[in-house]
Structures are given as structure tokens and as C-alpha cells.
Structure 1
């Protein structure tokens, strides 16, 4: 059976006021970047973008649970987790312009974003197994959405991790929708967390709009994983906007009366109210955080634009590290891409 971790007062958690304020600051930074990125995409600055508005508490709480040498394996919507982990905003934005993701050449233990659904899950299991074989005292946090649990990669990754005791926390952000498919059509299981039983691991379900609860759940999961017991964490949250900027959620999404109010309520508003009641922030905290975040985003946009006189990625990079000996089919594709890139 899975366990549920819910909200408690700040005094009842393991976290002090400074920790709570740091998480709120990262949530504001992420929201500010997300809003600006949508605006930039609408005016053609980038071709597409996957908004994460509403999921900041889930991602920031999870990222803050990581130790310095723990690995983050993000999906395409994990930008808030990447920012909280220390990835520069300019890296996130530059990637969306078609350039290599880690332009800043940081040495953070963060894998590149994965756009194919669930393909990063077996990679995370393998990364955890490699760390275990090397005797490294670290764990892996693998992020994905509820739609990924319908892919074979989900089963294969969790099965390998369970069998080989890989130090991995599989972090499912269940935002209620797999593009236009509601949760009720995604699985007949009682929850995503209960699926952990099939792989011999523990499942935790957490209020994904409470960053303190998320951090607590993920910290527990990471500690278990380091001891050889991988964990599946289901973070219940809500995607406020579209799946991507090419999506129109009004076509398929009405208000969800089956979802509780805590799951659809804005997580930043909720945390601000909570911390004010706890006496952990002053009235000017949110405004100051937004101003600083806005300046940071503007500086990131300028940095991206100023770097674009540099050479872009070589099309051969798509093919060079796939096979030791490139098969005929991929050689044909490489020549096709080369020809088009010279136009």
C-alpha cells in the first residue's frame, strides 16, 4: 500500500523559515520565467514551449530535497526543478532556441531534458545502477508526468530499478492530464503511487502544491533509495495552462469537479498565505521576489540573444554518438540532414 504525506504547520516540519522562504523564492523565479517564456514564444522568439504554471511547488520542493551530488533527470516540463537545482535561466531559454542545452558549461549533476515521453526512465534506472556499481553515495531523481506511466519505458525502468535495487526516486507529477487525456482514462489503478507494488518498491503520494510536503516525501524517498530501496512518488498537482503553446486546453478541459480545491489552487498564492500566517515573510516579500526574478529573466534573454553569433550545433551531433558504426539507414538520414542544413 502507498503512504500519503500531507500539509503540516511550519513548526511541525523539519524545515526552518529560511528554507521555506528559499523555496518560495525559487517558485517565484520559475513562475516569472514561465510567464515570460510563453510571451516570447507568442511573438516568435522560440518555436514552442511547454508551460508548467501551477506545478512550481511540486518541482521546487523535489529539487530542494536533492543532496549536492544527487542526479536530476528532468523531462521537458521540469524547468522549475532545473532552476531550483542551479541551472541558469539562459540555458533553459537557449535550449528552446535550438542550441545545446548546457551553454554555461556548468558541472551540476543534471541530465539534459528529455522530450520523448518516458524515455528518460530507463536511463535514470541505469544511472542509478551505475552509481551503485561504482559505490557512489548518491541517488537519482527521475521526473515524468502521469502520461508517461502508460509507456513501456515506465514499466521497464521501474522493473530494473526494483530488481537491481537502484538508488532512484521516480517522481511522477500527476497534473490530471496527459495532453488531452484525463487521469480517469489514463489508468484504472487507485493511484499512480500504488503501481509501485508491482515493482517491489514503496509508493508515496503527496500534495504536490505544498512544497514542504513534497520536499519531505522526496527526501524520504532519496534516503530509502540510497539504502537500496527505490521509491515511486506521486505528486498530485495541476497544470493551469496548456500542454504546450501549440495546445488549446479549452477544447478538451472543463473545470474538474472531481479534483479537490487544494489541487487546483495556485501554489504560490497558497504558500504566501501560509507563510504570512506563520510569520515567516513580510508583506513586501512577494513583490521584491518578483522584481528580482523579472530582472533575472531579462538578463537571461539578453545573454541568449548576445550568444547567438556563435556557431550553432553541428547536425552530425545528432548521429555521432548513437552507434559505434552507423547503420545504413542512419547514414542516409545524416546525409539528408546535412543537405537541408546547407540551404
Structure 2
């Protein structure tokens, strides 16, 4: 609660006047870098020419057009959607638990989604059912959502007492759920064939290399739904920061609100994990940075977290392609290298306040 309340009178809300155009400009610049930079550097003019509508004549060389429209544009769009989803879900989860240490990855929600998705990947492959294509495409997101939802409910119940939510219990529950999910994924890896095992290994480290238009559509539809729902609940989340009793006195149906937020957070994390694998710490770092700039008002925190989350994941994905070029690092490794020190910093802040 303390890390939230320290910004409650934050005069930095005046940043919001010019932060929106700056955030949009940063997102546009990072998206352009994502399209033009990589093992093959493409001039901006040729990239823009390749992105022209089909009824215009493009002057870009054929191989530039293929790289831009067939590989980098889908990857960039998926990056934007997944980064925004993870950051928004992190902001909402921190508001729900009233603690900035809450993150889908740290408290085990991502691990639960990963276990659900792994069940779909391996078991559906082993049983070799002849399912319609659209059902097979929906199986992984559905199982990932179920795993994330069950995990979120379990962690919340274990971490909540009549006196409120205990961050220590929440983190311990996340560790336990993460260990259980890891054991389940390990068992599935043992049962998998070589191709499944390779897919699972790369998927566990997080990657956006396999972006498809069906995944992009699914991610953006999910993003739109979450943005509408979370913005409608923003005022209620602000009231919840005062405490559950105080929110109830203000007319908020606390239990209904928590159930709805748990459901939609699990939906967002499950979809994100199913299309990109495990990508941690975006939901931890981004909301905290926005909160430091703009304060804890969720009406600003949620949309700005979406913008910064998209830009941050684009930069992480760009680094993953450039650091050991022409090879590629899994993007989950890059976000962990950035997010883990930030998490340690937050823990040190908490320890100083307790002391």
C-alpha cells in the first residue's frame, strides 16, 4: 500500500498533458525501428514503400518487401499487442492486490498459463485427433486461459486474509504454483517428441518469431476487449486502493469487481502466453514507471501502461535480434535481464520501509 500512497499527491500529473504525444511518438519510432532493423538493415524509405497499400506501385526491392511484409510487420504488430496486454494486466493486478510487486510472472499466473498451453501443445499432438483447423488454433489459447485463471484464483485466495492481501503469502503462493507448473511442463517435455520438445523449449523462453495473422487478430481483439473493460473499472480500482471496506462504503461491489478483474486478467495473460510464450517482467516494470510519472489514477495508468508496454517489448524484441546477430536471443531472456534487477530494487525499497 505504501508504494501506492507515496504517489497519491504526486504533482507529476501535469506530465499527462504532453506525455500522450510523446508516448505515441516513442511507440511509432520503436515500431519503425522494429521494421527496419535486424540482421538485414532496410532503409526507412524502402520499408515505408513496402508498407504502401497494394494499389500503389512500390519501389522497394522484392526481397525488402518480403522481409518487411512477411516477417517484420507481423512480428511488430504482435509485439505491440502482447506488450500492451501484459502491461495493462500488470497494472490491474497491482491495483487488485494493492501492491506494486504483483506481476503475472512473479506470482505464477504466467506459469499457470504456460502449463495450460503446454498441455494443449503436447497432448493434442500425442493423441493425434483429427480436429477442425479452427478448433486446433483455439486449443492453445483456451488451455492457457484456463491455466492462468485457475492460478490467479488460487494465488489470490492463498494471499488474502480477513485483514487484506499479504504480499509475502502471495509471492510464496506464486513460487509454489510456479514450481508445480514447472514440474508439469517438465513431465510434458518428457512425453514430447523431438519437434514438440524444441517448440516447447523455445516457447518457454518467449519468442515473437512465429507471428501469424491469426495470432495477431486474436491478440488485438483481446487487447481491445481488455482496454474497454479495464477503463470501465478504472474508477472502481481507484476506490479499491483505499481498502476493500472503504470501497464498499463508496458503493463498489468489491467481490464482483475482484471476480471480473481476475477473469479478464487471466484471459489477457493466457492469450499473451499462448501466442508469444513466457515473457516476464513487462507487467511489473511498466506500471511502476507510469505510476511514478502520473500517480496511481488508473484512468491514466492503464492506457499509458499499454503504450509504454508495447514500446518496451518492441525494444526488447529488437535487442533480441541485434545482440548476437544473425542469430536471435529469445525475447523472454532480454526482458528478464531488465526486469529482474528492477524487481530487486523494488524489494529493497520494501525492506527499507519495513525497517
- TM-score bracket, normalised by the shorter chain, equals under 0.3
**TM-score w.r.t. structure 1 length?**
0.27
Structure with larger RCO (C-alpha < 8 A, sep 6+): 2
Higher strand share: 1
**TM-score w.r.t. structure 2 length?**
0.26
